[in-house]
A and B are shown apart, each in its own frame.
Chain A
């Protein structure tokens, strides 16, 4: 599977669109800052208003970076799940991974008052990442264990839904006993938020993200083999057991870290791989993997632009925007092609 000229043009265009979306994201918000000012803030900071410089560098730039990490991270996690389960409906949210991650965070935030050991962990953002990755891993391991027994892909989706119900139920119990401030903290986390991350937190985010993405990147050959189904992948010399573990770890790291820092963001993990397959018209992971990273970044940056409501003080929860904007797009594309490509 070698790349052709057509694909190289595609990626060139994709890169340009990502850059445009990035600039648009930086310029839009309660205060509109022009494109040239945005560019100046990076190459010639003295030429623009100090307040604008501060808004961009201290608030919008880290937020845009977070949007890129969230969109591409969840997109890749969804791609791994869809290929692994050979089901275009699979994704971190549908399979209960986001709920598992939420459960991890809920244990940390809501349980901190009752368990002393946890209380000094809540001060560190990385402990969010740890707990949500662990919660995610727990659910994913459970789903995969059961998927060994039940081969039917629809049953696996139901298993994912059941796990997510259990996780939500435990979260409800925890919320019932939690204090008001803890509950508020948890609910706000649940709306999803791309801002509010310090540079230090972004470094942590980027570090764990890179680890997950690298594992996924090195699995591209195996993922292409898995397109043919497990038995063919086996007959092509792939170690299915090892690949299963690598895919679990990569998905858990990506979903876990994104959920920890930005809340349980619905829809992106399911829709981005689907959108990318429609746009590039292939399931070949050599093309679709970078495609998902690009499309995921663009969608998340644009969703954030909408959530900011230009020239308005109000900021909508990002979690609502991703679904309201994204779901109709998927429906329209589905109606156009009349089939789910896989």
Chain B
């Protein structure tokens, strides 16, 4: 059975550009991300995981090539249409934001509201449903600067859910979280794909957890991006190439890294 693709890249180059020169991290990326699946992006520090998904989320400009979302070139989307198609969650950096959880989550409706950001009854319904599903009812009236890291992470993901997009892209959603919150977050993402049909792409350093939850894996190594289903990834021993070290070995049977 062939899965439908939602994001596809055509000879995409990513990296950083300044006025004078372009510094390409990875050139000629050609991958397809399947619709309604959970895709994890893994790789060593500095390999370009973040750059890759920031480019896909249009947070960073691409250097050359193209990528398509729902068969439409990403550059052809207006700001607002893009905001209704792809939402973005990054590692939390905000400090002491003095608005309530409800207000924070409501901001996700901005692409749909009028110039004064007034919430219509449909907006309020969506917000209420998300707050209920994400189990944030008790926190609703609390200020964001009173939340723990785990709670704040749930609130930021809820904000993206309220944005009601087909695709959600997250940069390291599990860092700063304790192990239980890590698993809860990954399970929440998995559930969103399976029950609500969202397409979710996220970067992570928790490879073992990613292997247990994600449907597909995008591996990023020196100048190369490749993608496979999680099973193939494990069976073909790609992980040993991706994280090549004389001190480390990936064990297929247990699905874990072992120190040599």
Contacts and interface: CB of A to CB of B under 8 A. Distances in A.
Q: A and B: partners? A: yes
Interface of A: 1-2, 218, 220-221, 224-225, 227-229, 231-232, 234-239, 277, 281-284, 286, 339-342
B96 A341 contact: yes
B98 interface: yes
B110 A227 contact: no
A340 B106 CA distance: 24
Top 6 A-B residue pairs of the complex, sorted by shortest distance between their CB atoms: A237-B83, A235-B88, A221-B117, A237-B80, A237-B111, A283-B98
A340 to B, nearest CB: 7
Contact of A281 (B86, B98, B110): B98
Contacts of B90: 231-232
A184 B105 CA distance: 55
A2 B118 contact: yes
Contact of B117 (A224, A231, A235, A283): A224
B98 A218 contact: no
Given A2-B119, A236-B108, A237-B83, A283 B97 contact: yes
Contacts of A238: 79, 110
A291 B119 CA distance: 21
Contacts of B86: 235
Q: What DSSP secondary structure best describes chain B's contact surface?
A: loop
Given A2-B118, A220-B116, A237-B83, A342 B111 contact: no
Given A225-B110, A231-B90, A283 B119 contact: no
B7 to A, nearest CB: 16
Contact of A342 (B59, B82, B95, B104): B95
A137 B171 CA distance: 37
B94 A235 contact: no
B119 A282 contact: no
B174 interface: no
B148 interface: no
B99 A235 contact: no
B163 A236 contact: yes
Interface in B135-189: 143, 145, 159, 163
B107 A1 contact: yes
A238 B163 CA distance: 14
Interface string B68-102: 00000000000110111011101001111111100
Q: What DSSP secondary structure best describes chain A's contact surface?
A: loop
Interface string B106-139: 1110110101111100000000000000000000
A225 B111 CA distance: 10
A52 to B, nearest CB: 44
A234 B145 CA distance: 22
Given A229-B94, A237-B111, A342-B98, 9 more contacts: A1-B106, A1-B119, A2-B118, A227-B97, A228-B94, A232-B107, A282-B99, A341-B145, A342-B96
B117 A277 contact: no
A142 B77 CA distance: 32
A340 B111 CA distance: 30
A341 B236 CA distance: 52
Nearest to A234: B59
Given A2-B119, A224-B117, A342-B95, A284 B110 contact: no
Contacts of B145: 341
Contacts of A221: 110, 113, 115-117
A193 B19 CA distance: 47
Nearest to A281: B98
Given A231-B88, A235-B87, A237-B79, A284 B103 contact: yes
Contacts of B83: 235-237
Contacts of A277: 98
Among the interface residues A224, A225, A281, which one has the most CB atoms of the partner chain B within 10 A?
A: A224
Nearest to B169: A235
Contacts of A236: 83, 107-108, 110-111, 163
A281 B96 CA distance: 12
Contacts of A224: 107, 110, 117
A218 B116 CA distance: 7
B98 A341 contact: yes
A235 B54 CA distance: 11
